[in-house]
């Protein structure tokens, strides 16, 4: 997975995030303190956005797919 390239201006705890530059979002603590990782936070925000519109979708995490062997790492 791509690593965090820069700290977003609209996110709290920027100093903490700077310590994790280059790491995948799944390996970075949630700067909002509500989820296990920054990725889990972003995924929850995406699902909440989609749910407001009543879309029928199946959410899939690319990290889960890679770690579960569903896709090739190349």
**pTM listed for this prediction:** 0.84
Mean pLDDT value across residues 38-59: 95
**Confidence at 2, pLDDT banded by 50, 70, 90:** confident
**Which one is predicted more confidently, 61 or 32?**
32
**Confidence at 1, pLDDT banded by 50, 70, 90:** low
Would you say residue 12 has pLDDT above 90? yes
Cα separation values, 22 from 8, 53, 64, 67, Å: 14, 33, 19, 19
Q: How many CA atoms lie within 13 A of 50 on its CB side?
A: 11
Predicted local distance difference test score (pLDDT) of residue 73:
61
């Amino acid at each position: 997975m791509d690593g965090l390239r820069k700290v977003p201006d609209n996110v709290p705890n920027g100093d903490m995030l700077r310590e994790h530059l280059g790491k995948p979002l799944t390996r970075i603590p949630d700067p909002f303190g509500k989820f296990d990782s920054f990725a889990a936070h972003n995924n929850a925000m995406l699902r909440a956005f989609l749910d407001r519109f009543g879309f029928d979708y199946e959410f899939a995490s690319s990290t889960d797919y890679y770690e579960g062997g569903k896709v090739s790492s190349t």
